[in-house]
Amino acid sequence: MERVDVAIVGGGPAGSSAAHAAASDGADALVLEKGVPRADRDGLGPDSTDAAGILDYWVDIMGIHPDEFDDGVIQRELDRAEFRGPSASATLNNTGIDSSYDAFGYTFHRARFDDWLRDRAEAAGAEYRVGASVRGVDTDLETEPGGSTPRHTVRLAGDDPIGADFIVLADGPQRTVTNRVLDEYLPAGDGGSDRLSPPEANHIAYQEYRRVPPEVYEEVDGAIVFWWGVIPGDTAYPWIFPNADGVCRIGLTMPIGMDIDAFDADAYELLSADDESIPSGSTYIRRLLEWQYGDEYDVEEAFPVVEDAGKRDGTETYPISSTRPIDSPTRAGIAVVGGAMGTTSAFHEGGDHVAVRTGAIAGELAAAGDLAAYNRRWKESIGDEIVRNITMADMVGDYEPADWDRIIGAADAMLAAQTDGGLLAQPYRSGWESLKLLLGYKWNKRYTKREYVTIAADEYVY
């Protein structure tokens, strides 16, 4: 049987970063990526759907400065984020969080970013195998790493199995392999891995690549623009992210399985009283563009979909994991990283930075021959970011459109009164709304610090 030190399931940002770290430290690292076709990549590759924006302080979490990338990875440098409510708006020029990167952030080409991460892993000596679809992992807990028989056997669709001392699960938020592997170590009576995918916590993301009129591009260039309180659902919002050459990614995220009757159609700008179900992503995008630009433009003509961009026909649909992160069953020699461990935040889409970082930690520890420190190490590295995301998402979870206008209006007033602060950082300095926001934030912060892990390390049974 083919045998490696570290087998990595999934070749997205988390898996490639695990392979890079493991190979850099001398391990035999093999990435198994099932491979999906995309219009913006020749041949099969990882599933690279992404709005692809990085904020300044994420650069440090990721540990890769954008200067390191190949040409064509970076699309636009950002100088602000615009938060728009149904009628209020606020512009944030600074996240308020210390970072080594000077700009507000950047947008990037996700397929080229993934390919760059793959090249980096291969340059370090890792092998990246595309078209390798993992079916499952069998583990013999009696076997020590380095023993004559492998501790783990990775089963592949249509290929011979592969033996490995360590497994890094980086199969993204669908967790098709991760869930099955974790069920081996979770008591079924507690719901097993079903706890990772409760319907109310699962989000769908949809986006379109559209060429926009030059005046509109000029208006949004340098900005990531989010609309809050215009579509129903917890953490549901559309956005525009500028790409290069007059193209923008226009997308949205929303929970799966909502009932239209639970919402007042008149309260949401992008709902219509005639809707019999929650509109599709494409309907929402069309309504957003009509709402924002329909007075001046014939939207379908002036904002054409770029058919050869993105995944297929200029559009992409993808599940987003909005559960809280999980610890890994490290005593079994298994680390779960990136989207598979629940680090992606549907609240702000962010996940590449934490995927790269958790992958790198797992790869480094696997190469050193002991994953025991993984659950501590990932919390030290990304715990603050996770708490920040969960807290903010919790705070605004039941906001109605009017709440968004109120809070964005208050934020606008606060930002106008500040010279250097950011919406993501404390303190808010003035006003009743800011005090309320601050108190809510602190209370939630204490709460989530204690409970932000969906599956804790001590719940695994070996």
Ligand X SMILES: Cc1cc2nc3c(=O)[nH]c(=O)nc-3n(C[C@H](O)[C@H](O)[C@H](O)COP(=O)(O)OP(=O)(O)OC[C@H]3O[C@@H](n4cnc5c(N)ncnc54)[C@H](O)[C@@H]3O)c2cc1C
Contact footprint for ligand X (CB under 6 A): 9-15, 32-34, 36, 46-47, 49-54, 133-134, 170-172, 176-177, 205, 207, 251, 318, 320, 338-340, 344, 349-353, 355
Tokens standing for residue 172: 């993204």
Residue 10 beta carbon to ligand X: minimum distance, rounded to whole angstroms:
3
Residue 11 beta carbon to ligand X: minimum distance, rounded to whole angstroms:
5
Q: Count CA within 13 A, CB hemisphere, residue 216.
A: 23
Strand 105-108 relative to strand 74-78, pairing: antiparallel
Q: Closer CB to ligand X, residue 234 or residue 352?
A: 352
Q: Closer CB to ligand X, residue 34 or residue 109?
A: 34
Residue 64 beta carbon to ligand X: minimum distance, rounded to whole angstroms:
12
How buried is residue 456: exposed, middle or buried, by Cβ count under 10 Å (0-12/13-18/19+)? exposed
Q: Closer CB to ligand X, residue 52 or residue 455?
A: 52
Residue nearest to ligand X (CB): 351
Neighbours of 316 (CB within 10 A): 26
**Secondary structure (DSSP) of 88-100:** -EEEES---S--S
Per-residue 3-state assignment (H helix, E strand, C coil) for 344-412: CCCCCCCCHHHHHHHHHHHHHHHHHCCCCCHHHHHHHHHHHHHHHHHHHHHHHCCCCHHHHHHHHHHHH
Strand 223-227 relative to strand 80-84, pairing: parallel
Distance of CA 447 to the CA centre of its chain: 23
Residue 168 beta carbon to ligand X: minimum distance, rounded to whole angstroms:
10
Do 47 and 12 contact (CB within 8 A), yes or no? yes
Q: Closer CB to ligand X, residue 132 or residue 453?
A: 132
**H helix and E strand count, the chain:** 11, 19
Q: Closer CB to ligand X, residue 56 or residue 171?
A: 171
Residue 57 beta carbon to ligand X: minimum distance, rounded to whole angstroms:
12
Q: Closer CB to ligand X, residue 134 or residue 201?
A: 134
Neighbours of 372 (CB within 10 A): 11
Residue 108 beta carbon to ligand X: minimum distance, rounded to whole angstroms:
9
Classify residue 428 by its DSSP letter.
P
Residue 135 beta carbon to ligand X: minimum distance, rounded to whole angstroms:
7
Residue 110 beta carbon to ligand X: minimum distance, rounded to whole angstroms:
7
Q: Closer CB to ligand X, residue 106 or residue 268?
A: 106
How buried is residue 170: exposed, middle or buried, by Cβ count under 10 Å (0-12/13-18/19+)? buried
Residue 459 beta carbon to ligand X: minimum distance, rounded to whole angstroms:
22
| Greatest Cα pair distance in the chain | 71
Q: Closer CB to ligand X, residue 389 or residue 391?
A: 389
Q: Closer CB to ligand X, residue 186 or residue 205?
A: 205
Q: Closer CB to ligand X, residue 128 or residue 428?
A: 128
Judged by DSSP in three states, 127 sits in strand
Q: For residue 459, what are the contacts with CB-CB under 8 A and spacing of at least 6?
A: 186, 187, 190, 327
Residue 203 beta carbon to ligand X: minimum distance, rounded to whole angstroms:
9
Q: Closer CB to ligand X, residue 342 or residue 401?
A: 342
**Residue of 116, 139, 137 whose CA lies nearest to 128:** 116
Beta strands in 125-246 (DSSP E): 127-130, 134-139, 152-156, 162-169, 202-211, 223-227, 237-242
Residue 29 beta carbon to ligand X: minimum distance, rounded to whole angstroms:
15
